[in-house]
Structure formats: C-alpha cells, structure tokens
Structure 1
Amino acid sequence: MSAPSASFPGAPWSGWNETARPFRDDATIPGLIAEAARRHPDHPAIVTSDKGVVTHGELDRRSDRLARLLRELGVNRGSAVGLYGERSASALVGLLAVLKCGAFYVPLDPAWPARRVVGLLDRLGVTAVLTDRAHLPAVQEFRWEVPSLRHVLCPDIPEEFSWSAGFRRERVADFFDYVAGSPDPLEAAGFNLRRSERPFDEDDVRGYQDHVARLVRAATSAERPSVLEIGCGSGLIVEALVPHAARYVAVDPSPVSVACSQEAAVRAGGEAEGVVCFAHETAERVSGPFDVVVLASTVQFLPDLDHLTGVLDMLLGLLADDGVIVLADLVDPGLSAFSGLRVPPRFVERLPELLPGVARADVHRRRAEEFTGELAERYDAVVRVAPGRDRAARGREPLWTGHHVGLRPAAPLTDGPTAEDICYTIFTSGSTGAPKGVVVTHRSAVNLIDWMNRTHGIGPSDRILFVTAFSFDLSVYDIFGVLAAGATVRLASAAELAEPDALVDLLEQEPVTIWDSAPAALAMVMPFVRAREPAERDTLRLVLLSGDWIPVPLPDQIRSAFPHAEVVALGGATECTVWSNHYRVGEVDPAWPSIPYGTPMQNARYYVLDGDLRPCALGEEGDLYIAGTCVALGYAAAAGLTAARFLPDPGAPRPGGRMYRTGDRARWLPSGDLEFLGRFDDQVKVRGYRIELGEVQAAFLQCPGVRAASVVAPMGPGGRTLAAFYVPADEPLPKAELLRALRAVLPSYMIPARVVALDELPLTSTGKVDRAALLRRL
C-alpha cells in the first residue's frame, strides 16, 4: 500500500498533493486480466471491425498457449519482446502472452523507417518479435540486422509455414509457361516483363548470361562440375554452362520452361535432364550429389525468406562435400523497392548461424558500370557447404506461426511477473537524435488502472474504441485497463480511421461508451458529426483527451453532439505512466487561454519549483516536476539521461523516491488546478506526438550536402507544424531528395512540412541560432 504523502510541507499547494491511496501494489497486469477472465469468461474482450469476437476466456487461453511457446524459446522475466504490427486481436493476445512470461514488450510502429526499428531492437537486445501476416515481409527483411533477434512469431498465420496458404501451384506454373513461351527471346528469358526507363537489349542479356557463368565457374574447383539449376526458365544459363558440365539437371515448375531448357542444351552441344517441380520439392525428385546448385533470377519469385531458408536447407543435402550454391541476381531491400522477394545481404552473411551445413556465405557486389538499370543494384552470393558436418538444420530458427502456438497447452505458466518487473518500454523522441525508451513497471501501470477504473466506474458494460497506435502510450490503458475491468476493446481498423464518416457510423451504431485520443484526432471527426442529423448518440459516456492542448470550444462541441458524454482532460508524461493528472471539464469559459491542466491523480504528486528546486508561490510560474508511484524506472540503456531527468524527490514519503523533471512550465491556480504554460526546452507537441526538435535537426545533419540545420515548430490555425532551415554545403538540394533521406531515419510525423535553404543560419548575440528570426521568415 502507498504511504501518506509528505510533499513539501508548508508549500501553498502541498495539500493538493495529498493523493495517497491504498491499491493492490503487488498486482500485475496479467494477474488483473486473468481475474477478469474468471469473472466474465463469456463476455467479449475484443471485437474487430469485421465483427469477430474474442471472449475474456478465449483471450486468457490463447495468451496462455502463446506464453508457453515464448517461454520454450527462452523468453523469461526481464526479456524484451518487440511488437511490430497494427491493432488486431492477435496483437492483443501477443502482448498479454509476453507479460505472462514476465517479459516486457516494446511497441514498434510499422510506419517507422527500418533503420529506426533496427536501432531500437539492437539497443534493447530484443530476442523475439511478434508480428502479423501483413507486416511479416518487413520483419523478415530487417531481423537479420539485429544480432540478438532469434525468433519471429506470427500467430495469426494458422498454417505451419508462412507461405503455404498463399501458394498457388497452378497459377505459378501457368505464369512461367506464359513467360517461357513468349515469341520474344528477351521476354522468354525473363527480361522486359515490367516497364523500365530503358528496355533491356540483347547485349544486356548476353552480359548477364556471361556474368552468371563466370560466377559459377569461379565458385567451384571441379573441372567439369555436376550442376543443378533451380528455376531454369527458357534456358539462358543452361546454354552457357552445359558445355562445361559433367551432368546438368534443369528444374522448373513450368513444363514449357523445362522443354525450352532442354532444347537450349542441345543447341549448345550438351544434354540436360529436365524435372518439372517447385524449388522446395527438388530433393524428392532429384538425386545428388552436385558440385554446384544455381538459382539465377529465381529467388525473387519465391514466396518469402522462410521459404528460401527451407529451400537452402534442403539443397545442402544434395551437395558434394566441396559443393556450392550460387544465388545470382538477388534484390537488396536497401537499394530497391522491387515487389518480389528481397534478400538482405545480412541474411546471406548469417547463413552459417542459421544452417549448420553452411561453412561460409559470401556477398558479391556488382560494379555498376557493368550492368544496366536495376541489374546494377542487385548482387550475387556464394554459399559453401561444410565438409563432413551434419547438415540437418538443428540450429535453424524457424518462423513460429499459429500452428506452433496451437500445439501448446492452454494452461497458465507457474511463474510470471512481479509488480517490480518491467511491463513495457515505449520510445519517445530524443533531443540528441536517439529516441528515448521509457521503462515502466507493472506497479505503476496497475496504479493507473486502479485509479481510472475506480474513478470513472469502468466495468463490463463499457466498450472503448481503440484508435491509437501501440507506440502511443494511451494504448496502455486502452488495452490493459479496459480488459482488467472485464470490459470490451473495439479495434478500429486502418480503413475506419482513414474515413471520419466511418468513425461517426461506428459511434452511432455500436455500443461504444469510451473514446480516448489526442484532441486533434477527435477534432477531425467532430465536423462530420455536426454535419449529420442527430442520431442514436446516447451510448458514449466518457471522452478522454490528452497528449496536447485541448481547443477550448471542443468540450462543448462534444457534449452537444453526445449528450451523455463526460469530457475529461488528462495530462502527464510518458515517463510517468500515461497520465498522472486529470481535470473533469465542466462549464467552459470561452475566455480561458486553455483547458486547465487539472490536479494529481492517486499516488501522484506535482511540484512547481524554481531553479533552486524551491516551491513557487500560488500563481507563480515555475518548472513542473512529477513524483509518486507513477514515475518510470528511467530510460533504457541511458544511465546519464536518466540521472539528469529523474531526480531525488525532496517530498518523498520514504527514502529513495524520485521525481521526473518534465521540461514543462506551469503554475498553481487558487482553485487547486494546474495551468500548463508550455515548454522550456526543444520539445514540442505536433498532432499529439511529442517531438524533440534536436532529433529532427540531427537527422537533417546526416543528409549528404547539409552543412548546418535548425528546426522550429510554428503555431498555425491547425496546431503546431515543423519547419526546417538548412545551409547546403554547395548548391541547395532538391526538396524531394532531402525528404527521401529524412524518411529513411524519421517517422512520418517528424518530417518537416516546410524546408527552406539559407546561405547562413541567423545567430543571436550569444552565438546561438536565432529561432525567432527563423520564424519570421515563414
């Protein structure tokens, strides 16, 4: 239980910090949700946009199965597990399973650049990532850049293999029959099938053919090797290699391709055995050993990287002891947006870790001047077998699907988290260019849930419309707080969020009782509400707004449209577990500069202090600090930053308490409410996202051709936006080029709306960048 508050006795506002209240401070998130499942096993826990329903009992059982698989994979107390995907029932099951293991989750937004995601996973040493079918291809590409990442789980795929459900044998065979049967020999060889700036000609094709032949001959020491080609097409590579081969086997799913390749072998003065089958079936139809296996312009047509891994594993068993696999014409995701299968070079380099039969795997980059168009951006690889080594794939790290989850019992783990364990780490923008990972325990989250559900009477009859991303900390209460109350989470689909009218339909036609978002998100919907004739709008009873300034007219607009809705303004910081203060918005004075910030919630204390950490008088502006149970442990892997922002709490009821320096300016009003007065550092709110201008500036300085840069956040009619000024090293850079470089490292909401080139940045008399002068230039 929480001890009584003794914060700054004698301070004029000390009485308003008497917020101590007992709560179950030994409880954990999965414990609360398991209790709700026992009380309401048949009540809907999750409802999807297509009317799918997961009951509280089903949620408990499904998360138990997944938790058992995670535990088998080494996910234990203190492990970090990434979540990469959109709002879905599978994702919510996954989050609960992670917590049941005693691990903590790290939400990763698929809209973020891959480099940002990789950096965060690497910094935390994440060992497993949960994803969904739609985002699996992206995870399969970036996972190889993270040394600690051993397992990828995609529970919403029910099949054992990720690619099998979408695999269409006849359709694939028919396509390659059509290509190989083209009267145009270049198209039959797979060239010029898509539009390009310059079509390939015969010289290009011949150059590619010679390149692959040289690569194969250089890779093997056999004078007359036995060759197996997977995906032989019209016989382009057969023609080049068969004269030098002791044996040649040409495999393709297309009978037309196999026939064309055999004819090409005869024309070249040799002979090829033809086998009609798919790559993963080769070992069933062909016997080895082979000195060389060739896949030339074949990998890009395979279903996914898990399929490729299985094919390589199988091919190792067909190789001689000094055999090699040559992968020609691989597509690098870092260089190409090609729609087929892209293979990260790191995947190739890490094959010896993945497959025990691989001794070495080398990436061969191409010299751009030797190739035309997209061929210049591709690369080749040579995989060498490990002589005498058992080539069974004991070390292979498969993709774990719903098939594997379903094999585990639906029984709870005997050991789970404690209240002191980490629950989640959510990343926010960082002033030095590196995002900050806020580390929050179960106890802090349980305190929040206890207060919210008790204060607002949240129970099984409630249904929240879940509209936020997992990487936005509002999602913490939207998921776990609502589920712990035995209530229902209605998942808003991406399509619904993209169409305000669809959200209005949902609010009018479904029993949604709670809305929770940044003010801007609801403000975008309200014009569509007001444009309609009043309908059934009696269900919505609680509107929670936080994360940014609330427009003063908005609460009355909401209550006019939804007559039973109470509007509550919530505040705090990600570093203080979502929310730590509240203000029930009653009558609004149109003359107010803003909606009041409110008062501390249970077991939270707010201090307004001067530069010497002394209490400010009522009405006096000062720096805002937050203390109490809500305060996070600190920043992940950033001890120095943690020490600078999480300070000893002079008003702590017991030794060791800490307070968080928010960076906000505020003052106490005589009513006992806080008034928020803005920031004193480079942090701003843009469309509800907290952004450090320093991180955006650091990204600008990474762009080639940028000598200096500064970023400002002007206030406009629709709120704040970002504007960037830069000094080019030479000539001003095309805006499209700059934005392309920024999108490689920054999320879309951190990309400046305006970019201006200057000869020099204006400076103040102290030598600092004059941001006021920059604002006047807009």
Structure 2
Amino acid sequence: MTSTDERLPPPAWNDTTRDYRRTATVPDLVREAAARHPGRPALVGADGRVTTHAELDAWSDRMARLLHDRGLGRGDFVALYCDRTPLAVASLLGVLKSGAAYLPIDPAWPRQRVTGLLRDLGVRCVITGAVHLRTVQEIRWEVPTVTEVVCPDIDADSTWAPVLDRTEVEEFFDFLSGEPDPLEAAGFNLRRSDRPYTPADVTAYARHVAGLAQEAAGRGADILEVGCGTGLVTEVLAPGARRYVAADPSGVAVRRNLATAAAGGFRVEGLVTYAHEVADVVQGPFDLIVMASTVQFLPDMDYLLQTLASLSGLLRPGGGILLADLIDPDIEAHAGLRVPPALLDRLSEVLPTVAEVEVKRRTEGGFNGELAGRYDALIRLVGHVPEADRGGRVWTGAAVAARPALPPRDAVTADDLAYAIFTSGSTGTPKGVAVQHRSAVNLIEWINGTYRVSPPDQVLFVTSFCFDLSVYDMFGVLAAGGSVRVATQGEIAEPDVLIDILEGEPVTLWDSAPAALAMLTPFLAERDARGRDGLRLVLLSGDWIPLPLPDEMRAAFPGAKVIALGGATECTVWSNHYPVTAVDPEWPSIPYGRPMTNARYYVLDENLRPTPVGTPGDLHIAGDCVAVGYVGSPALTARKFLPDPWAPGPGERMYRTGDRARWLPDGNLQFLGRLDDQVKVRGYRIELGEVQSALVRCPGVRTAVVVAVDGPGGKHLAASYVPEAASPVGVEEVRSHLRAQLPAYMVPTRIAAVQTLPLTATGKVDRGALISGG
C-alpha cells in the first residue's frame, strides 16, 4: 500500500522556503522607497498631477497622525468608501501607518450590505471622497460604532464651504420667491408630478407645522423661523406669537414675509441671513426655533449639525428646535439633504446638551405626495453647545494638513492586520479575509524580486480596491520605488482611452483579471500600433485565461512578458505563478504554475491524502501566504483553514481553496475549475471547467464561459462565447465542435455568441448576470 508521504510530489516542487523581512511592515517598505527615491513619481492622476514619493510619505504620515489623534490604531478597522483616486491610495497608506487595518467598500454595493459590514466589524472610521460624502454622512448614523468620518479631498476646514455658492443660492431663492404663483414661490410643484399640490395641500401643511410649534411652545411664545421662504408658516404661526423673527438668505422672500405681516396686521422682524449665521446677527432668547421645509436645502449634514449647535445658544432653558418636513433616506430618493432618523437617536453624541428628541411620524392619509412620507422632529436642549464641544464633524484635508508629518511611533508590527477584503460567500453572506503585514511583505518582496520591479516601472491601476490585486498594485509597486497611474472609472469604461494611456504614458505593468484585459484586445488589433514598446509585464489572475490572450498581448506589445498568477484572497493575493511562453492550442487551460516563495501546494483527495501526480484532487495552499482567517467567523475559519500535517514547523495551517487541480509531470499545477463548479444535470455530475475548456479550444472562439441555469425539468447548461474578430464562428459550428469533444449530456443546451462577456466590479466574468439572463 502506498504511504501518504510517497504520494506527495517531489520535495523540490514545494522547496520554496526563502528568507525575507519577517519583521517588516508594508509602511516600512514604502517609507524606505521614499527615502531612496524621494523625487521620483509615486502617484499619477488622470489629470497628470504627480505626487512624489517624498510627498506621499509626508502626507500619509499626517493622515496616520490624524487617525491616531482620533484614537484609532491597532485592532481597529478603517473603511474606505471611495472611488479609485491618488488621494484614496495615499489615505490607505496612512491607515496602515496608524496601525489600523483598512476595509475597502465599493460605493456600488447595496446600502444594507455596507451598513451590515460596518456594524459587524465594529468599524469606527470611514474615509470617503467628496462625491460620496453625503451618502456616508447618512450611513454613519445607522452604524453606532462609526464615530469618525474623514474626507481628505476637501481642502477647506468645513465640508460645506466649497459648495455654498452665495450668489447662486441668493439668485435662485430670490427668483423663486418672486414667482407670482404662491405655491411655486413656496417651493411646491417645481418638479413634474402625477398629482400636483393644491392650495388646500399647502394650507394643511402650514397648519400642521404651526400646530407642532404651538404644541411645543404654546401661544405667546418667542419664535425664530430659520428659512422662512415666502411665509406660508409665518402667516399661520406669527399672529399668535409674542415675538416672531423670520430669517432667510433671500431678500425677496423676507420682504414678502414683511408685506404679508403688514397686510395681516401682525408684527414680524425680517432678517436676511444664512442659517449658520443667524446666531451671530439676532438677539435671543427664543422659546422655539422652527426650520420648516428648510433642511433639505442645506448644503450637507455637517452644515445642519453646526447650525443646530449655533442656534442652541439662542434658546431659553428648556427651549426647542422644530425640524419639520425631514426626508427619510429609507423612504424617499431626493437630491436634497436627507436625515436618517438614526441621527436624531444619536444626536446627544453630537450636541451634549440635548435633553430629548421626539420624532413625529405623520399619520397615514394625512398628506398627499411626498409630504406623506416626510417626518418631523422636536429637539429639546438644556444649554448652549460651543463649537469646540460639538461632535459628529467630518475631518477634511485641512485637518490632515494641520498634523505633523510624523507617524505614530511603534504603531504597527508585522503581526498586525493590514487589511480585510470581503469576498462573496456560498451561503450568501460575504466573508472578510484578514491578512497580516507579514504575508503582504512576503508577496511584495517575491514579486518585485522575481520580476525585477524597480523605480522606472509604472502600473496602470485599474482594479477595484475591493479586489485583492489592488494590494500589490498600490503597495508593491510603491515599495519598489515605482509609480501608480490611477485610472478613473470613466477611463476604465473606454477601451480606447486605456489603450491611449498604454501607448502614450510610461506604463510598464498591467495587472487585472483576464476578462478585463480581453476587453482591450479587439481595439488593439484595429488601431495602428504606436508607442507600444513600454509595456513589459502583463499580470493575469483571478479567472480562466483565454488561450489566445497571451499571444494577442505579445503581438500588440512585443516587449511584454505574460505571467499567469493564481492563489486566493485567503492566501494574500497570489501564491503561484507561470510565465506564459508558447501556448499549446490543445491545452485545456493555461497551467497554474508553481508555488511562490514560502508557499506550499497540496493536491488532496476527500480524505485529505495526497493524490498521485497527474490525478485530480482538491487544492490546498500552505505557508506564510496564508491569511489569519475570516473576520468574526471562527467556525468558518476552522472549516477552511486546516492544520498542515506536512509543515516544516508546528502550528502551521493550510487553506482549503475549493479549487480542483492536479500536478503535471513537469512540476507545474493545472487548474481544473472550482469545486462549486460541479453541477448535476439530468443525473450527470459535470465539471463546468471541463466544458469551458472544450469550448475555448473551438477554432474561432476567443473566450467563453459556461454556467448552470435553472429551467424546465431542472438545471441545464448555458454557454456564452466571444467569437474571434478575424474568423468568427457560428453557434452551430461551436455546437458541432463540442459534440465531437464531449458526451452529449455535457453539451450546453443554450449557446450564444456575444460581443463581450459581462464583468463584475473586480474585472472578473459576471457569471451571476449570465445565470439571471439564462
């Protein structure tokens, strides 16, 4: 009987142990590169703006210091909710320097998924860009652990100062307030609606607000209305007040209020000013401050919170602020400022003198249209909130610039987590893979040493932060002293634009999933070649590599070497490689290759015994590349990260990848598909990878994918393929080819030719979209 050890591959195939800097961290590598090459470019934006290594080092130190000053460091996760920009890359480096780990979040993810991840990981801080700030300002209040938001691409001290255009605001509201139609002047019926508001609707709304105010303060109260507009509420509420001040940035609106008051025989004081400046120009005290249909016109959440803090100084003890007609993000999509009720629940965190907040939902049938879904809130305060004591502010780039360029000392070690990247889970629950600095350093030193990445190199950064390829694109290339050309989402959407960059800019490295690169090759073939001598390294991983793709890239870029990389997010981006030279058209797939430095590969049977060379089995990966595990999921970690019985030292683990593979006689591995790609069709168990391999070997097929879809009588196979531009092949020819290669039950019942395969945000083929379209 053959022993387990005898069935292992030759020891030399897994003889990968090499020295590397086991105590170094990712910031150590990048900081040292900055010291060696301070003036060389580090980050390059689409606008051509260059950040040098010295500038990146100093700015990320300041970001780290801000995070440290806010109490963030080891053991914390800092979320990145941002598009791909140079400043986002710099921010992530700052997170790592602070000792915290970063958690990338795709702004395209459903809101519930985002809040769930933030809540589950106890995230305390979110970094975002100005374009997504309003969304983050809403989300933060729905996650109790989130106490800090940083928006570094706003240079001003406040988030709202750059967007508050006084001339534009005053001209708009002056124009609106001057409209002869009183409803339009008051801001109603400005948008098309199946049912426009009637005078009765508007009167009912004004009386509703007045009723809330009188209930809160009684008759004969001193009232300040901030954002009075043309006076709908003033006209109902002011006659019963002892003192009434109507404030608005529109002089036309204020004068209209005064005219209404004079005609009605009651007194109103008019004040032309902005909400945040009211407290500077009016004398209190007041019993009640009213903001009715005003909040949605404010610049952002920080402006609202600052305004509430300043207005608190105008109230008598026990006085209140009535916010009427608030928009709930869960109910209404609206371009204006929306206020999640969770903010009001947590308002005392922001305004320490808040005694009570009463959220008032509207009764069903009480209002029509959008007014029916709105809500009101009464805030009771027991004292003034100085600006210095106000919480909830967003820290801007000005706050980063104000910090010293000195990172916190001893903030991070090689044992600390560097990041957690979430992958989809088979149960529908996303899995967060936590990776230490040590594993990332091993990866970076291996790639940079093996493929001689150096200061002249520049990578075109096209992957999502949520795809682990981004880890190397950012920190690996920076650690080599090279530069990162950050592609915008708009650039990525245009293949011709990406080719312009590859031809016209000093890009030497490409790194993506194969499908993302395959989008470019038809355009490359149609264009006259120019400036194609710079690209030297093409890194492909994350999915099947179409057999024609390596040769197509070498034909377009004669100096490029194509490297197939494999592994798993759970094993720190990549853990094996295969330099692609000549491609055998009979190959079922590009070989998976050999383990990288300090990684070991095992092909095991269902009893975790090694399979003989050439025999398919389940792929397991061991070594220093293996991640810590799944965040907050010890049971799943235990199922997927197993003790390694062949480890050179005690306590090491191997990761069960879920891939099928086999050793080839030459010491390379061959990828055979995913375990979850095994499906049962009409009683037959089928490997989707085998069908896909047969399909891509069909002459005239560029690339293809096979999925199992539900249909009458159970599951059946559906295939989509992209024909070669030069020699396109029809569906029936493809079907005939498959019939000659596969048993009848493995031939897809539906085969379709498509121009392109749909891609996920990470650049992989979107099999889910193909299934739903099947």
**TM-score with structure 1 length normalisation?**
0.88
2:244 aligned with 1:248: yes
Aligned to 2:414: 419
2:381 aligned with 1:385: yes
- Which one-letter code corresponds to 1:29 in the other structure? V
Aligned with 2:485: secondary structure? strand
Cα deviation, 1:121-147, whole Å, max 9, x if unaligned, reads 111111111111111111111011111
Q: What is the rounded CA distance, in whole Å, between the counterparts of 2:363 and 2:722 in structure 1? A: 50
- Which one-letter code corresponds to 1:313 in the other structure? A
Q: What is the rounded CA distance, in whole Å, between the counterparts of 1:350 and 1:136 in structure 2? A: 19
Structure 1 residues 379, 393: CA separation in 2 closer, same or farther (over 3 Å shift)? farther
- The Cα shift of 1:320 comes to 1.1
Structure 1 residues 521, 310: CA separation in 2 closer, same or farther (over 3 Å shift)? same
Contact 2:458 2:509 in 1 (8 A): yes
Q: What is the rounded CA distance, in whole Å, between the counterparts of 2:71 and 2:252 in structure 1? A: 48
Aligned with 2:421: secondary structure? strand
Among residues 544, 549, 558, which one is paired with 1:549 in the alignment? 544
Among residues 277, 280, 295, which one is paired with 2:276 in the alignment? 280
What is the number of residues matched between the two proteins? Answer: 705
Aligned to 2:260: 264
Aligned to 1:76: 73
What 5-or-longer segments of structure 1 have no aligned partner? 1-6, 687-692, 698-709, 720-742, 757-777
Among residues 333, 346, 354, which one is paired with 1:358 in the alignment? 354
- The Cα shift of 1:681 comes to 2.6
Aligned to 1:707: none
- Which one-letter code corresponds to 2:650 in the other structure? P
Aligned to 1:21: 18
Cα deviation, 1:89-130, whole Å, max 9, x if unaligned, reads 211111111111111000011111111111111111111111
Contact 2:16 2:595 in 1 (8 A): yes
Among residues 571, 591, 613, which one is paired with 2:566 in the alignment? 571
- Which one-letter code corresponds to 2:720 in the other structure? G
Aligned to 2:526: 531
Structure 1 residues 279, 87: CA separation in 2 closer, same or farther (over 3 Å shift)? same
Cα deviation, 1:665-689, whole Å, max 9, x if unaligned, reads 1111111111111122379999xxx
Among residues 582, 591, 603, which one is paired with 1:587 in the alignment? 582
Among residues 55, 63, 66, which one is paired with 2:63 in the alignment? 66
- Which one-letter code corresponds to 1:218 in the other structure? E
- Which one-letter code corresponds to 1:502 in the other structure? V
Aligned with 1:717: secondary structure? strand
Contact 1:468 1:475 in 2 (8 A): yes
Aligned with 2:246: secondary structure? strand
Structure 1 residues 567, 167: CA separation in 2 closer, same or farther (over 3 Å shift)? same
1:73-152 counterparts in 2 under 5 A? Answer: 73-152=70-149
- Which one-letter code corresponds to 2:634 in the other structure? A
Among residues 297, 314, 317, which one is paired with 1:301 in the alignment? 297
Q: What is the rounded CA distance, in whole Å, between the counterparts of 2:346 and 2:722 in structure 1? A: 48
Contact 1:609 1:623 in 2 (8 A): yes
Contact 2:313 2:384 in 1 (8 A): no
Aligned with 2:283: secondary structure? coil
What 5-or-longer segments of structure 2 have no aligned partner? 679-687, 693-706, 724-759
Among residues 418, 442, 463, which one is paired with 1:468 in the alignment? 463
| Two-structure CA RMSD over aligned residues (Å) | 2.4
Aligned to 1:717: 721
Aligned to 1:374: 370
Aligned with 1:506: secondary structure? helix
- The Cα shift of 1:380 comes to 1.1
2:599 aligned with 1:607: no
Cα deviation, 1:246-289, whole Å, max 9, x if unaligned, reads 11000001111001112222344311100000001101111111
Cα deviation, 1:159-212, whole Å, max 9, x if unaligned, reads 000110121112111111111110111111111111122211111111111111
Aligned to 2:161: 164
2:645 aligned with 1:661: no
Structure 1 residues 349, 190: CA separation in 2 closer, same or farther (over 3 Å shift)? same
Give % identity: 56
Aligned with 2:445: secondary structure? helix
Moved more, 395-404 or 320-329: 395-404
- The Cα shift of 1:351 comes to 0.7
2:339 aligned with 1:335: no
Aligned with 1:16: secondary structure? helix
Q: What is the rounded CA distance, in whole Å, between the counterparts of 1:138 and 1:682 in structure 2? A: 37
Aligned to 1:726: none
Contact 2:254 2:271 in 1 (8 A): yes
Q: What is the rounded CA distance, in whole Å, between the counterparts of 2:677 and 2:636 in structure 1? A: 15
- Which one-letter code corresponds to 1:68 in the other structure? R
Among residues 201, 205, 227, which one is paired with 1:204 in the alignment? 201
Q: What is the rounded CA distance, in whole Å, between the counterparts of 1:368 and 1:45 in structure 2? A: 58
Aligned with 2:455: secondary structure? coil
- Which one-letter code corresponds to 1:562 in the other structure? F
1:495-534 counterparts in 2 under 5 A? Answer: 495-534=490-529
- Which one-letter code corresponds to 1:716 in the other structure? S
Aligned with 1:165: secondary structure? helix
2:566 aligned with 1:562: no
Moved more, 676-685 or 430-439: 676-685
Aligned with 1:228: secondary structure? strand
Contact 1:421 1:441 in 2 (8 A): yes
Structure 1 residues 175, 439: CA separation in 2 closer, same or farther (over 3 Å shift)? same
Q: What is the rounded CA distance, in whole Å, between the counterparts of 1:718 and 1:271 in structure 2? A: 75
Aligned with 1:652: secondary structure? coil
2:37 aligned with 1:51: no
- Which one-letter code corresponds to 2:149 in the other structure? V
Among residues 385, 391, 400, which one is paired with 1:396 in the alignment? 391
Contact 1:13 1:668 in 2 (8 A): no
Q: What is the rounded CA distance, in whole Å, between the counterparts of 1:369 and 1:712 in structure 2? A: 50
Cα deviation, 1:696-734, whole Å, max 9, x if unaligned, reads 99xxxxxxxxxxxx9999442159xxxxxxxxxxxxxxx
Structure 1 residues 554, 14: CA separation in 2 closer, same or farther (over 3 Å shift)? same
Contact 2:499 2:524 in 1 (8 A): yes
- The Cα shift of 1:378 comes to 1.4
Cα deviation, 1:616-670, whole Å, max 9, x if unaligned, reads 0011111110000000000000011000100000111111000000111111111
Contact 1:151 1:399 in 2 (8 A): yes
Contact 1:357 1:391 in 2 (8 A): no
- Which one-letter code corresponds to 2:599 in the other structure? A
Contact 1:328 1:381 in 2 (8 A): yes
- The Cα shift of 1:9 comes to 6.6
- The Cα shift of 1:241 comes to 0.3
Aligned to 1:444: 439
Q: What is the rounded CA distance, in whole Å, between the counterparts of 2:553 and 2:388 in structure 1? A: 60
Structure 1 residues 91, 205: CA separation in 2 closer, same or farther (over 3 Å shift)? same
Aligned to 2:614: 619
Contact 1:357 1:392 in 2 (8 A): no
Aligned with 1:37: secondary structure? helix
- The Cα shift of 1:84 comes to 0.9
Contact 2:312 2:384 in 1 (8 A): no
Cα deviation, 1:748-771, whole Å, max 9, x if unaligned, reads 968645659xxxxxxxxxxxxxxx
Q: What is the rounded CA distance, in whole Å, between the counterparts of 1:122 and 1:40 in structure 2? A: 41
Structure 1 residues 184, 713: CA separation in 2 closer, same or farther (over 3 Å shift)? farther
Aligned with 2:131: secondary structure? coil
Among residues 286, 307, 314, which one is paired with 2:310 in the alignment? 314
Aligned with 1:570: secondary structure? strand
Aligned to 1:775: none
Cα deviation, 1:444-490, whole Å, max 9, x if unaligned, reads 00000010000000000100000001010000000000000000000
- Which one-letter code corresponds to 1:181 in the other structure? G
